[in-house]
């Protein structure tokens, strides 16, 4: 910007980016929305040692209780002794090891797809898929409650991003029909990360078939938990590769490891190897971690009792929360939100639970819209009935608002 002073033109001072960021951070702090790191000293199942205290956690994604399983630890240790810690390279150079190939094959078989491709994180996987497939002039139709990485991927691709109200198939239909000549991709979470409900996958698949749109399902919170043998929300909806050609899921939640994968037709995977920049230009995940994830994939399928126990705990919590009149969202998954409305109320409730020895996340704007702050309770097969009862007992003492209907909004 330039300012005229008399006959001279004087350049206004260039804005300082770090100062601007500091102002934005200060505003967030003043609004009581500042995010803070918490260092965990040691994890023992659902128990966390923090400083001089010990907290019972209800905020991890370890849905099947596999993160500390001795077979995973042993597999990781064996592979680390053989290969060391890092893969030392991107997959396409010399970082792709036998452990990666075995894991990809197992993931493809488990999910009923021709092939699978590993990514270092779920965020990178979605960025890679959307950037590789979409281009300027295309449209990407998404649920308003989709994870941030799906929204970011669409924006980075150059395609037109259209967002429909949560789970509203009719609105998605109108958005696709409005651009009949454009190549189209419809993306949705399988299980929504903040609300815990499941997308109307069969209806969305039928819509995509009618409109010749490609369907992408992010099943980060469904894999391992839902479906036959834990194959995820797409499996639970009885949909295959033809109906859902793009399936993304993570290895760091129900499988207790780290990383992600995309599964689908062989032509898709070959194309991603050629054009997905987050895959091409990133060091491969450690082969030892891939070995541990392979062990987790096998355990998740054969140890069905973990899912049975998890859903029994979910039912116990929901029954107790309903009896207490707590503001419980509609969710049958391991994610059980209590909708409190204001950010201050959610933070106060989380702090009160911590004084009871319980760690529960207060989810506040901008992660959820203003007025939709909540306690995001997550359950795990590592929990016991007594743990759930302890949580319910503590919640009963908090005098939380009475139950009300949640109103979905934008999650970022």
Q: Which residues are annotated as a binding site?
A: 35, 122-123, 147, 193, 221, 250, 367
Length of the chain equals 412
How far is residue 337 from each of residues 48, 192, 208, 407, measured CA to CA in Å?
21, 11, 30, 13
CA distance 183 to 205: 16
The token pair that represents 42 in the structure block: 């040691």
Which residues sit in the known binding site for substrate?
A: 35, 147, 367
Give the DSSP per-residue string, 74-124.
HHHHHHHHHH-S---SBIIIII--HHHHHHHHHHHHHHT-SEEEEES-HHH
CA distance 389 to 387: 5
The token pair that represents 345 in the structure block: 């109320």
Which residues sit in the known binding site for pyridoxal 5'-phosphate?
A: 122-123, 193, 221, 250
- Cβ distance 165 to 144 under 8 Å? yes
Q: Is 230 left (phi over 0), alpha (psi -120 to 50) or beta?
A: left
CA distance 140 to 138: 7
193 tagged catalytic: yes
For residue 90, whether the previous peptide bond is cis, meaning omega lies within 30 degrees of 0, is: no
100 tagged catalytic: no
- Cβ distance 119 to 262 under 8 Å? yes
| Catalytic annotation, pick one of 91, 221, 383, 411 | 221
Q: What is the DSSP letter of 7?
A: T
| Catalytic annotation, pick one of 83, 96, 162, 253 | 253
| Catalytic annotation, pick one of 60, 120, 157, 193 | 193
Residues 6+ apart with CB under 8 A from 8: none
- Cβ distance 285 to 87 under 8 Å? yes
221 tagged catalytic: yes
Distance of CA 174 to the CA centre of its chain: 27
Q: Which of 201, 148, 122 is nearest to 410 (CA)?
A: 148
Residues annotated as catalytic (active site), given as ranges: 193, 221, 253
């Amino acid at each position: 910007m330039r300012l005229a002073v008399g006959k001279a033109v004087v350049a206004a001072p260039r804005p300082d980016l770090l100062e601007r960021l500091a102002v934005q951070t200060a505003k967030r702090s003043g609004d009581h929305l500042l995010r803070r790191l918490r260092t965990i000293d040691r994890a023992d199942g659902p128990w966390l040692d923090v400083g001089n205290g010990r907290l019972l956690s209800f905020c991890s994604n370890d849905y099947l209780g596999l993160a500390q399983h001795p077979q995973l630890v042993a597999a990781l240790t064996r592979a680390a002794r053989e290969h060391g810690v890092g893969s030392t390279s991107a997959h396409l150079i010399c970082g792709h090891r036998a452990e990666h190939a075995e894991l990809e094959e197992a993931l493809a078989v488990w999910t009923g797809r021709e092939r699978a491709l590993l990514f270092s994180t779920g965020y990178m996987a979605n960025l890679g898929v959307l950037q590789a497939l979409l281009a300027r002039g295309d449209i990407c139709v998404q649920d308003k409650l989709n994870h941030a990485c799906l929204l970011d991927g669409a924006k980075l691709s150059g395609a037109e991003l259209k967002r429909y109200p949560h789970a509203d198939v009719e609105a998605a239909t109108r958005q696709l029909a409005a651009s009949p000549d454009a190549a189209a991709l419809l993306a949705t979470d399988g299980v929504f990360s903040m609300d815990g409900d499941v997308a109307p996958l069969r209806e969305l698949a039928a819509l995509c078939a009618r409109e010749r749109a490609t369907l992408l399902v992010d099943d980060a919170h469904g894999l391992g938990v839902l479906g036959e043998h834990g194959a995820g929300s797409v499996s639970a909806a009885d949909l295959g590769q033809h109906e859902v050609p793009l399936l993304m899921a993570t290895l760091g939640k129900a499988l207790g490891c780290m990383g992600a994968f995309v599964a689908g037709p062989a032509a898709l995977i070959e194309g991603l190897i050629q054009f997905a920049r987050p895959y091409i230009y990133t060091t491969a995940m450690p082969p030892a971690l891939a070995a541990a994830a392979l062990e987790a994939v096998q355990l998740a399928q054969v140890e069905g009792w973990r899912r049975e126990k998890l859903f029994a705990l979910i039912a116990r919590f929901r029954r107790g929360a309903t009896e207490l009149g707590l503001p419980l969202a509609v969710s049958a998954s391991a994610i059980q939100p209590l909708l409190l409305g204001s950010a201050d109320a959610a933070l106060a409730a989380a702090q009160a639970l911590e004084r009871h020895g319980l760690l529960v996340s207060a989810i506040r704007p901008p992660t959820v819209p203003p007025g939709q702050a909540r306690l995001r309770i997550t359950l795990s097969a590592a929990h016991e009935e007594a743990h759930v009862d302890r949580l319910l007992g503590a919640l009963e003492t908090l005098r939380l608002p009475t139950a009300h209907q949640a109103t979905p909004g934008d999650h970022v």
